[in-house]
Chain A
Amino acid sequence: MTELRLEGVTYEYPAGVRALDGVDLVIPAGGSLALIGANGSGKTTLARHLDGLLRPTHGRVLIDGEDAATFSVARLAAKVGICFQQPDRQIFQRVVRGEVEFGARRLGASEEEAFARAKEALEAVGLADDLGRHPDDLGETRRKLLTIASVLAMRTSVVVLDEPTTGLDAHGAGRIGGIIRALHEEGRSVVGISHDIRFVAETFDRVVLLDRGRVVLDGTPAEVFAERAWPRLRASGLEPPHAAITGARLGLGSTPTEADVVAALLDREASAVR
């Protein structure tokens, strides 16, 4: 499995605007990390450095200790698969099967292997019955799930998902959460960009807050959504998860998810009884 390391990564646009400003970040093998931040904070820019689509203006990106600059994007894509936000800017095959197999085939999988992976990936996102359909016949939600299936079929050791739950309803979002947890259990690294704070708190082990190209918070959900971090979150235009706010009001310590609130209350009851 793959370790990604950003060392002092700065990315400047020609006009001089810094989308990333001295970012130091380690994504260990098998890590599960969410990137949060307001629009324009650099989340997508950072993600694109992970497979070489963007190259740093200063600093470097290391993939398993080697400088990513020495590899082409096509080579890096074998280790780091990124699923972009807009399905319509990606889907081009006329059959769902072909679309899901595309990435896998590009990376060298045989026809049989690619087909097997495609079936598995479609199963995971809940589109198993749509194998032979035309992508245009799928609604927006299922097209989104299709793009996610396509990156899953690439079986990369790092999977990056840019806003995977945007536009999905509750069922769809729940599915994505399950997929991310499953990938994590397989030992793959998952990086998620999301502005759905509740989803982030429930799904990832680590949360990184970006603000104007800089890492300003990096820790577990319990750390990043603890009350002392709220001013920092709010200064970056974000709100803490509702569960964290409720937990703080009830004096339960840091409770980023509802499960944490429940657990803390049960603990309190148990100790009250004692």
Chain B
Amino acid sequence: MSRIATPSAGGPTAWHDLDPLTRLVVSVGTLVAAVLLTGVVCLLLLTLVAVLLPAALARQLRRVLVTGLLLALPLALSVIIVNVLFSIEGTVVASLGPLEITEEGIALAAEVVARVLTMAGAAVLFYVTTRPSELVASLQHHGVSARLTFVIHNGVAMIPRLAERAHEVTAAQRARGLDTEGNWLRRGRGVVAVAAPTVLSAVRETEMRTLALETRGFTRPGRPTVLRVPHDSSTQRVARWGVALALVLLTLARATGALPC
């Protein structure tokens, strides 16, 4: 049976060698910064430095670009449609029947698209270069509680499993005559028939997994033994705090209006 690929780690590069926590902080930091910054230029700069550069370092540039675009495109398109065609008053640049396209609308749309692309890129970068197992090991090494670790990890690890499960469920429902090859209206009706068992059986499986983990001492207080210790360093520690500090400063600058971007 075909399987949706789990995030591969790719080759041993400088990026891959970093403590997963560091990689997580960079990606999450980029996500937050993308929300705080405005203006296409600043956002593209952020993408270049915080997404594309590390992606190139990790030799995953193409993958991050393509997957990031695919992920962001539907959202970006809907944003463009809404903002460009339906919104802002201002200098009209062109008109499409009763709808007016303004300069300001275009600028806003461009900014939102850039933001969505940056966030998608940051998320994909982390996902394709980090295996769930090493993330968990790192979190446990740094003392994050077992339950929180499990929640984070389960979310990530469930993605390919959910996809595979949805595929199975779709096959079972098609065998009962559900038409997935017809027009979009027909396909829309089939969504519940696929979504409900997918989600419900995934929830059931998570419940069972919780029992299985408990019987293996997962909720024991105190730190578990980590066999594969992440490659942390003082430089990375400083960098992580640096990112946190930068975000705080960015928030302050945004709040006080001092941010040029």
Residues of A within 8 A of B (CB): 13-14, 48, 51, 53, 72-74, 77-78, 81-84, 86, 88-92, 102-103, 106-107, 150-151, 154
Contact between B181 and A89, CB atoms less than 8 A apart? no
CB neighbours (8 Å) of A82 from chain B are: 175
Contact between A150 and B179, CB atoms less than 8 A apart? no
Chain B interface SS verdict (over half): helix
Contact partner of A74 (CB less than 8 A), chosen from B2, B174, B192, is B174
* Subset of 25 A-B contacts with CB under 8 Å: A53-B171, A72-B179, A73-B174, A73-B180, A73-B181, A74-B177, A74-B182, A77-B177, A78-B177, A81-B176, A84-B171, A86-B201, A88-B200, A89-B168, A89-B169, A89-B172, A89-B201, A90-B197, A91-B197, A92-B197, A92-B200, A103-B176, A106-B176, A106-B178, A107-B177
Known: A89-B197, A92-B193, A92-B197. A77 touches B165 (CB 8 A): no
B198 to chain A, nearest CB (A): 8
> What residue of chain B has the Cβ atom nearest to residue A102's Cβ?
B176
B207 to chain A, nearest CB (A): 12
A72 to B201, CA, bound (A): 27
- Whether B249 is near chain A, meaning CB under 8 Å from some CB there, is no
For the complex of A and B, list the 7 residue pairs with the smallest distance between their C-beta atoms, beginning with the closest. Answer: A106-B177, A92-B196, A103-B176, A74-B179, A82-B175, A88-B201, A77-B177
B175 to chain A, nearest CB (A): 4
Which residues 163-208 of B sit at the A interface, judged by CB distance below 8 A? 165, 168-169, 171-182, 192-193, 196-198, 200-201, 204
Interface size, B (range): 20 to 34
Contact partner of A48 (CB less than 8 A), chosen from B171, B177, B192, is B171
A77 to B181, CA, bound (A): 13
Contact between B172 and A90, CB atoms less than 8 A apart? yes
CB neighbours (8 Å) of A13 from chain B are: 2
Contact between A77 and B197, CB atoms less than 8 A apart? no
> What residue of chain A has the Cβ atom nearest to residue B199's Cβ?
A92
A51 to chain B, nearest CB (A): 6
B42 to chain A, nearest CB (A): 42
A120 to B27, CA, bound (A): 57
